[in-house]
Amino acid sequence: MSTTTNNTQPSLLSQLLQVPVIVAALGYLVDMYDLFLFSVVRVPSLKALNVADDQLLNEGINLLNYQMAGMLIGGVLWGVIADKRGRLSVLFGSIIMYSLANIGNGFVTSLDQYAILRFIAGVGLAGELGAGITLVTEVLPKEIRGYGTTLVATLGVLGAILAYFVADLFAWRISYFVGGGMGLLLLVLRFNVFESGMFKHAKERSVDRGNIFMILTNGKRLGKYLMAILVGLPIWFVVGILITFSPEFGAAKGIEGINAGKAVMLAFSGQVGGDIVSGLLSQYMRSRKKVIRLFIVLSLAMVIGYLLIPMQDLFSFYLLCTLLGFCNGYWTLFITIAAELFGTNLRATVATTVPNFVRGATIPLAALFVRFRPDLGVVQSGLVIGVATSVVALLALYFLEETFTKDMDFVEKE
């Protein structure tokens, strides 16, 4: 009798390879491709729009800010929709918006058009990861949901790597067309995805869903929410400042010829390894917090090395970009812990807004970088901001609860 029972148990692989998990993973791949394509094609696209060399950094930061502002707004919009109308509504709506916007990016002829379309693309991109992670954490058993989110993150990061190779093979306009086309193709697969059972259960109970004021007006929930955001700051300091503007950091250290697209590709190649290692280590240690703490400390060490270690050759510089990416590999755990902290009726709102507020933190971080640069220089400005974000993240993590074994089938009450 026991043999029959064991044979009927679904395997780990069969549980992980459910349609919602695979579609969420592929969606994040397209999301990351579109999100980081701008970092890869920043210089050639701006030069094609007749931006002077001495304005490439400033105009690049400006367009990045438009994209991140869109993600801030989109994070709230899609998060509320996911909790009110369901996770699938966001998986459909967001991919349509950012796919069409990225196709539009391939037709721009002015900086104003570029800025508007990066903003629209940012709004669309904001919904993909949070809705996907929420769906995965709700359809998988708690014992293996860490594996599921690791799978989503790993495929997603491969999208950023794919952006580099596509941009290397094709002109920057074609690269945008490819990203939009991939999104529209993936849309077809999403018709086979089923809704989260936990969401249906919460809907049947008629609880208040997607009400962000339940977070903002409750001190305990607001504290958890803010701490979750602060934990992710080092990741986007590295991506949004150190890697995106790697040519400027390299030039400040006397290294010429750095390709921003290659730096992005190598950083995300490293992050693939980091995502896998952090996910497996979290399962082994049965802890999210311990692994996140380890990776934040490693990230700080790599930031200091990136900025202060004397380098004269491209190989050493690119190696540090790869190591920085590896230490960014707690991105998935950070979003997973945010989703696990809150009940089903607010989970998608949190899981969608938290990573987008972290992404949006690129705006004030970039502003600080620009403000400090005239007085401190490129390297010292980066060092001050990098150390500050890591210290803040470690303090925030200290105050968060461990969520590894937390039951996800609960709701937040007013």
Check: CB of residue 35 under 8 Å from CB of residue 98: no
Sign of the alpha-carbon dihedral angle for 134, 138, 140, 141: positive
Mean pLDDT on 158-180: 91
**Average pLDDT of every residue of the chain:** 87
pLDDT of residue 281: 93
pLDDT of residue 8: 53
Q: Nearest 5°: phi and psi at 249?
A: -70, -40
pLDDT band of 5, cuts 50, 70, 90: very low
The percentage of residues in the chain with a pLDDT greater than 90, rounded to a whole number, is 36
> How far is C-alpha 91 from the geometric centre of its chain's CA atoms?
16
Express each pLDDT in 102-112 by its tens digit. 999 999 999 99
Question: What is the token pair recorded at 110?
Answer: 């002015």
Judge whether residue 275 has pLDDT over 60.
yes
Torsion of CA 173, 271, 23, 360, to 10 degrees: -70
CATH number for the domain formed by residue range(s) 15-192+207-398: 1.20.1250.20
The percentage of residues in the chain with a pLDDT greater than 70, rounded to a whole number, is 97
Q: Which residue has the higher pLDDT, 158 or 296?
A: 296
Check: CB of residue 84 under 8 Å from CB of residue 210: yes
Alpha helices in 86-144 (DSSP H): 87-105, 111-125, 128-139
Mean pLDDT on 130-152: 83
State the Rg of the chain over Cα: 21
* Rounded alpha-carbon distances, angstroms, from residue 186 to 24, 34, 285: 10, 14, 35
14-18, 63-67, 312-316: least confident range: 14-18
One DSSP character per residue, 243-274 reads ITTHHHHHHHTT-----HHHHHHHHHHHHHHH
- Domain locations along the chain: 15-192+207-398
pLDDT of residue 348: 86
How many whole angstroms separate alpha carbon 299 and alpha carbon 254? Answer: 23
pLDDT band of 213, cuts 50, 70, 90: confident
How many whole angstroms separate alpha carbon 258 and alpha carbon 317? Answer: 9
Amino acid type, 15 = Q
Judge whether residue 134 has pLDDT over 90.
no
Express each pLDDT in 335-367 by its tens digit. 889 888 998 888 888 988 898 888 878 888 988
pLDDT of residue 169: 92
pLDDT of residue 3: 43
* Rounded alpha-carbon distances, angstroms, from residue 270 to 51, 221, 274: 32, 34, 6
pTM: 0.79
pLDDT of residue 191: 77
* Rounded alpha-carbon distances, angstroms, from residue 313 to 172, 240, 284: 27, 23, 38
CB neighbour list of residue 297: distance below 8 Å, 6 or more residues apart: 390, 394
Nearest to 392 by CA among 240, 162, 232: 232
Express each pLDDT in 77-106 by its tens digit. 999 998 888 888 888 889 899 999 999 999
Nearest to 106 by CA among 43, 56, 167, 175: 175
pLDDT of residue 38: 87
Sign of the alpha-carbon dihedral angle for 281, 285, 287, 293: negative
Give 87's Cβ-side CA count (13 Å radius). Answer: 34
Q: Which of 14-23, 66-75, 192-201 has the highest mean pLDDT?
A: 66-75
pLDDT band of 9, cuts 50, 70, 90: low
Judge whether residue 276 has pLDDT over 80.
yes
Mean pLDDT on 200-218: 81
